[in-house]
Structure 1
C-alpha cells in the first residue's frame, strides 16, 4: 500500500483536475516531526490558479477531503497534514514483511538485464592496501542493490596487471632483486623494489628510460619480460584471493588490463576507419574539443598504448559479452577526466550505449589526514587491518559475552563488517580518515552497533519462543511515537533501496539502517515487549519485522548478521 498515492488521489479528486494526482504526489512532503502528521501537502502552487492565499486553500481543502481513510486531517498554515490510521498501516507493512521476508522491497525494474561493475582493480605486484577497499565494498554493495531491483550484476575485477609500472618493477628486479627473497615474501619484496626504484628515479632519469624500454619489450612479447610479469602476477593473485575470501567478495571475471592486449588493434583500426585518429607530435590522438576535453591519446610516439586504449577495448568487449543495461565503473574521483574522455571517444565512434556507462567516483581514504601512496611506501595494508579488526571484535565479545558459541566466526563477521560499514556509511564523494578503533566500536554509528541491535532482537524472540503468524491483525495501544517511528522506517525501505540505486550511493542505505537500529533501541528502552499483554504478539511481530529489514539492509551492504553477539 502506497499511502502517498492515496493522499495524492483524494486531493486530486477535490481539486477537479487543477493538479493531476501525479503532480500532487511529487509535491507531497514528510513533516519534520511525528506530531505534525505523516504526509504533508503544501498548497503554494495552487495560489495563482485559485486566486486565494495558500492558508485559505489549505483550510477549505482540508474540510472537503474524505477523512475516512485517515486518522485525521489538519490544515496548518499553508499545509494540509494527513495523519494515517497507524494500526491499519502497521498491519499492512508488518504483514507484508513477514510474508515476503528477505524479498520485501524487491522490484523488477531490471527485468533480468546485466549490469557490469568495474571494481576493486588492485595493481599486481603491490600489496592490497586500504585504498582499494572503497572500490571493492562500494561496488559490491551497488551490485547487491541492483540485484534487488531485478538486474543481474556482473562483478569485474579489472586488475592493474599491465603498464609502465611493470617496466619499473622489472628494472628494479634486474638491478637489485633477490630471487630467493622474492619467493619467500613475494609481495613485501616487490613492494620494496617498487618503492626503491621510484625514489631513485627522482634523481636518475635513466631509470625511467630503462623502465619504458622494459615495458615496450613486455608489449612486444619478450620472453624474459613476460616470464617475470607472469611470476609477479601469479604471486599477487594468491594474496588477493586470500583477502577477497576474508571479505566474502567474489567476481564473475578477473580479466585485467593484460587481457585486452590483443583487442586494442581493433580499436585503433575502428578509429582510423571512422576518421577519428589524428597524428600529433608523433602520437595518435582523438580530438575531443567539442566536448571541452583534452585530446585522448590512443598511442604514444613510441607505439606504446595507454589506459584509455585498453579501456576502449574493455568497454567494447563487455558490451558484446554481457549486453549490459548499465556499465558502472567504481573508480576514484581523480579518474573523472579519464572516464569523460572514454565516454566521449565511444560516442564519437557511434556507440549510443556509451550513455549507459557511469563513473561512480569516490573520495580518498587518508591516515592522520595524509594521502596514502604505494609509490612512497605510505600504505595501510588491508589484510593485517582485517585481522586486527577481528581480534578487537573478539576481545569485545570475550568481555561482554565470554560463553558465546562460535566466537571466532562471529568476531570475523563483526570485524569485517565493521570495516565495510565504516566505509559505506560515508557519502562516497567524501573521503574519511582511517580509524580502526572507531570502526570496531559497538557504540555510535557503526556496523557492530547495527549487528548488535539485530542480535538483541533475536535474543528477545528466542526468550519469547516466537513463531511467525501470517496475516496477524496487529494492535498497538501506545498508538504513536514508540512503534510508529519503526513502522515509518520499515515502510520506507523499498524507496530507500531505489534511491540508493539511482544515486549509486550505498551510504543512503547505511544511514537508513543506522536510523532503524537506533529507533529499535529507543523502542526497546520504552516498551516492555515481553510483558504478557494483549499487545505482546504485535510487539514481537514488529521487532521480528525490524530484524528482517536490519538483516536485509546489511546483506545489501555486503555485511553478515550474527544471530548472537
Structure 2
C-alpha cells in the first residue's frame, strides 16, 4: 500500500486537486502485463472534469511526477504508468518482512473493537455434515483476519438446540429407539431415527402432531423430555468438539437457541412498549417497511419464532460484548430473515443495528442439489476429513516414508485440503461437493500452498540461512514478481476485511506460491555461493508470508511434507 500511496500523492499534486486522494487510490490499477509497469492510473474521469483528451492529460501529468521510488513514469495513451525502483522496493519489502515476521500485514484498523461472529451453529442430535463446513471455516477465517486487523473477534457457536425437531426426535426415540444402540453410537442412531420419523410421517401424518405434543411437553419442563434433550445435547457437543479440535477451531460462546428461552418475553414487552407490535390474523408482527413482509414475532398460538430469538440474542450480545460490528455467517437463503431482524432493531431505536451484517454464502451442493438431513442425503464432514487424512498419509508414505510425525502432518494436510477448497471460492457462490477436487495435491489447493512453503523451508535448511547476515537482495527478472506479490500481502488482508471475504487471502497465497515455484524452476538458489544468502532472504520472506496467509485461513504450514 505504501507505493500506491506514494503514486497517489504524486498524482494528487499533479492533477490540481480535481480528485481527492482516496478517489485517486481507488482508481489506481495494476497492469495486466509487467512490461506496462507496476501501477497505472487511467485519466478518463479527469478528462471529463477538465474537458481535455485523456491522452493529453496523461502526458501532462506524467511529465510532472518525480519520486525516488520510481524508476520511470510514462504516458501510454490515456494511462499514466509507473515503474518502481526494483532494488529500493525489494530491499524495503524483504527487510520489513524479515524484521516483522508473522506481524507483517498487521494493522490497527479495528482499534480493539469487538466483533461478534455467529458461525458454524450445527443442530444438535444430528451429525456434523458438509453443509455446516462453509459457515464454520468462513467464520473462523474472518475471525483470524479481523484479529490481524486490530479487531477483537468473539466467536459464537449459536447451536440449534431447540425447536419442534426435538419433539420429533423424542417421539421417534420413544417409538423405535434402543437405548443400548443409541448409547453406543449416539449421533448415527439419532440420525437414523430422525430420518425414520419423516419417512413414517409421510405415511402417517398424525405423527407430526405427536412430535408437536412432545416438544410442547419439553417446553413445559416435562422431566423425561428434558432428560432426553440434555442427553442428546451433551452427546452432540462431544462429537462436534472432536471435529472442531481436528480443524483447530475454538469458540468464545456456545450459547444456543435454548439459552434465550427466558429472554424472549422481554423482547415482546419492549416491542409492545415501543408500540411496534401489531396483530395480523391472530399473530403478532412488526411492520418493517413497504418492501419487506412483516416480521413475525409470535404465532397465533403464542409460540415465539427464530426472529424473536435472534432479537433477544442481539440485545444480549450488545449488552455483554458492546460490539462494534455483529456478523452472522449464515447461508444466502436466510437473507430475508436477517433483513427483517436488523430493521426491527433499528425501529426499536438501536443505532448499532447499522453495524450488523449478514455474511452470506452459497450452498454446498451434492450432484447439483441441496443436501438434506431429513431425507438422509447428507455427507458427513468427519468422514470426509478422515478420508482426506488417509489419502494425505498414503501420499506421505509413497513420497517421503521417513518423514517424522507423519500422522500429525497428514492431519494438517488432509484437513487443510478440505478447508482451503471452501475458502478459495467467493463465499457467495454455491459449491458442488467433490472429494476428488478437495484432495488434489496440485493446482489451486491447500496442499499445493503447503508444499510450496515446505519446499521453501527445505531450501532454507540446506542453505543454512542466516537472516542477520549482511547481504543485499538479488532482484533479477525472475525475482521481481515475487517482490511485488510480497508487497501486496497487507492489501490482500485489507480487502478480505472490507469485503468480509477470506478468498482474498486464499487467492493471494495461491498467486504467491505460483510466483515462487516459477522462480524456483528458473533460479539455482543454492549454487551461487556468493549470492546465496541474498536469495535465501527472499525465500525466507516467502515462507513467512505463506505461513501467515495459511494461518489466517485456519491452516497449518508444515515445514516438511
Say whether the fold is shared (TM-score over 0.5).
yes
* Residue 400 (structure 2) aligns with: 401
Work out which of the residue numbers 530, 533, 544 in structure 2 matches 1:548. Answer: 544
Q: What is the TM-score when the length of structure 2 is the normalising length?
A: 0.97
Q: In the TM superposition, what are the counterparts of 1:85-234 in structure 2 within 5 Å?
A: 85-234=85-234
Q: How many angstroms apart in 1 are the aligned matches of 2:355 and 2:341?
A: 12
My pick for the range that moved more, 452-461 or 24-33, is 24-33
1:260 counterpart residue number: 260
1:415 and 2:414 equivalent?
yes
Deviates more, 1:498-507 or 1:435-444: 435-444
Deviations 1:367-419 (A, max 9, x none): 22232100001111111211111000000111111111111111010001000
Partner in structure 1 of residue 556 of structure 2: 560
Q: 1:521: how far off?
A: 0.3
The 1:416–1:95 alpha-carbon spacing in structure 2 relative to 1, beyond 3 Å, is same
Provide closer, same or farther for how the CA distance between residues 72 and 383 of structure 1 changes in structure 2, counting only shifts above 3 A. same
Whole-angstrom CA distance in 1 between matches of 2:2 and 2:169: 59
Q: Secondary structure at the match of 1:198?
A: helix
Segments of structure 2 that go 5 or more residues without pairing to the other structure are none
In 1: Cα distance, 2:302 partner to 2:553 partner: 43
> Is the alpha carbon distance of 1:22 and 1:358 closer, same or farther for their aligned partners in structure 2, counting shifts above 3 Å?
closer
Query: Counterpart in 1 of 2:370?
Result: 371
Most deviating of 414-423 and 340-349: 340-349
The correspondence of residues 481-500 of structure 1 with structure 2, limited to 5 A, is: 482-500=478-496
SS in structure 2 of the partner of residue 202 of structure 1: helix
Check the 8 A contact 1:461/1:540 in 2, yes or no. Answer: yes
C-alpha deviation, 1:62, in angstroms: 2.4
| Stretch of structure 1 that moved more, 86-95 or 461-470 | 461-470
1:63 and 2:63 correspond:
yes
Contact 2:466 2:533 in 1 (8 A): no
CA shift in 2, pair 1:153/1:439, >3 Å: same
**Cα offset, 1:341, TM superposition:** 1.1
- Alignment of 1:383 with 2:382, yes or no, is yes
- Following superposition, the deviation at residue 26 of structure 1 comes to 2.9
Higher mean alpha-carbon deviation, 220-229 vs 100-109, is at 220-229
Q: 1:207 to 1:511 in 2, by over 3 A?
A: same
Contact 2:69/2:89 (8 A) holds in 1: no
Aligned counterpart for 2:502 among listed residues 502, 506, 514: 506
Return closer, same or farther for 1:49/1:366 CA change in 2, 3 Å cut-off.
Answer: closer
Q: CA deviation at 1:44?
A: 2.2
- Per the alignment, residue 246 of structure 1 pairs with 246
**Equivalent position of 2:527 in the other structure:** 531
Counterpart among 500, 511, 517 of residue 515 in structure 1 = 511
The separation in 2 between residues aligned to 1:16 and 1:300, in whole angstroms, is 62
Contact between 1:95 and 1:470, CA under 8 Å: does it hold in 2? no
Q: Does 1:270 align with 2:270?
A: yes
Mapped partners of 1:64, 1:128: distance in 2: 61
1:246 deviates by 0.9
Aligned to 2:27: 27
- The alignment's TM-score, normalised by the length of structure 1, stands at 0.96
Structure 2 equivalent of residue 39 of structure 1: 39
Q: Is the 8 A contact 1:418 1:446 kept in 2?
A: yes
What is the CA distance between 1:487 and its match in structure 2? 0.9
Do 2:247 and 2:415's aligned partners in 1 also have CA atoms closer than 8 Å? yes
Unaligned runs of 5+ in 1: none
Contact in 2 for aligned 1:98/1:470 (Cα 8 Å): no
Aligned to 2:337: 338
Please say if residues 216 and 304 of structure 1, whose CA atoms lie closer than 8 Å, have aligned partners that are also in contact: no
2:130 and 2:379 in contact (8 A); partners too: yes
Segment drifting more, 225-234 vs 68-77: 68-77
The structure-2 alpha-carbon separation of the partners of 1:498 and 1:48, relative to structure 1 and needing over 3 Å to count, comes to: closer
Q: Is the Cα contact below 8 Å between 2:69 and 2:88 reproduced in 1?
A: no
**What is the CA–CA distance in structure 1 between the aligned matches of 2:260 and 2:36, rounded to whole Å?**
59
Any conservation in 2 of the 1:91–1:472 contact (CA below 8 Å)? Answer: no
SS in structure 1 opposite 2:243? helix
- Cα 1:245–1:20 change in 2 (3 A) is closer
**1:313-359 CA deviation, whole Å, 9 max, x = no partner?**
11110000000111111111111111111111111111111111111
In structure 2, the CA distance between the partners of 1:379 and 1:78, relative to structure 1 (3 Å rule), is: same
Range that drifts further, 237-246 or 299-308:
299-308
Query: Within 1, Cα distance between the matches of 2:69 and 2:240?
Result: 57
CA contact (8 A) 1:95 1:471 kept: no
Change (3 A) 1:3 1:229: same
